């Protein structure tokens, strides 16, 4: 009987150990499954609650893109085109007029040689008028002839 009792005691010990291990494994599996389910439910709930926020955000983003495009097309691009046209026209005029400006500078030098200053012209007129007045008895007022 001692053998039988020992066998029974060993069987009971093995049963206890096996039961403990199974319980521990079962608890771990159950806890893992519970965590997964809880995470899944929380994700679904959160997505459900945040969906209106996501929708509004999408609408806002599309509205912002529309506003940017409209602003660019209607305001900024036409203004840039106007500025560009003005600058290009002005630059063309400057390029075209450089030769004319150079020619004018050259003519200015020759004009200085051709024309005399006003006081010299006035002096010549006075001299001519005095000579004429000596011939004629009526003196002429030359102030009307001078600028």
Name the more confident of 119 and 88. Answer: 88
Q: Which ranges in the chain belong to alpha helices (H)?
A: 2-71, 77-114, 118-135
pLDDT bin (cut points 50, 70, 90) of residue 143 is: low
What is the C-alpha to C-alpha distance for residues 55 and 6, in angstroms, rounded to an integer? 72
User: Is there a contact between 133 and 140 (Cβ–Cβ < 8 Å)?
Assistant: yes
Residues 108, 110, 111, 115, CA torsion sign:
positive
* Per-residue model confidence (pLDDT) at position 1: 58
Phi, psi angles (nearest 5°) of residue 137: -90, -15
* Per-residue model confidence (pLDDT) at position 44: 92
| Residue 66 CA from chain centroid, whole number | 17
User: Is there a contact between 125 and 145 (Cβ–Cβ < 8 Å)?
Assistant: yes
pTM: 0.34
| pLDDT (mean) for 7-33 | 88
User: Is there a contact between 142 and 121 (Cβ–Cβ < 8 Å)?
Assistant: no
pLDDT bin (cut points 50, 70, 90) of residue 147 is: very low
pLDDT 10s digits, 38-79: 999 999 999 999 999 999 999 999 988 888 888 878 888 888
pLDDT 10s digits, 106-137: 777 666 666 666 777 778 788 877 777 666 55
User: Is there a contact between 140 and 111 (Cβ–Cβ < 8 Å)?
Assistant: no
* Per-residue model confidence (pLDDT) at position 138: 56
Q: Radius of gyration of the chain from Cα atoms?
A: 55
Q: Assess whether pLDDT exceeds 70 at residue 91.
A: yes
Name the more confident of 94 and 143. Answer: 94
Name the more confident of 86 and 144. Answer: 86
* Per-residue model confidence (pLDDT) at position 139: 54
């Amino acid at each position: 009987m001692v053998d039988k009792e020992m066998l029974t005691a060993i069987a009971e010990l093995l049963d206890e150990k096996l039961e403990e291990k199974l319980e521990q494994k079962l608890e771990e599996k159950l806890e893992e499954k519970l965590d997964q389910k809880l995470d899944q439910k929380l994700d679904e709930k959160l997505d459900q609650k945040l969906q209106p926020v996501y929708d509004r955000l999408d609408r806002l983003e599309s509205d912002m893109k529309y506003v940017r495009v409209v602003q660019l097309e209607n305001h900024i691009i036409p203004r840039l085109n106007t500025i560009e046209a003005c600058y290009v026209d002005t630059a063309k005029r400057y390029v075209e007029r450089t030769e004319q400006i150079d020619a004018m500078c050259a003519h200015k030098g020759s004009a200085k040689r051709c024309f005399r200053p006003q006081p010299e012209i006035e002096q010549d007129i006075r001299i001519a008028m005095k000579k004429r007045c000596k011939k004629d008895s009526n003196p002429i007022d030359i102030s009307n002839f001078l600028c």
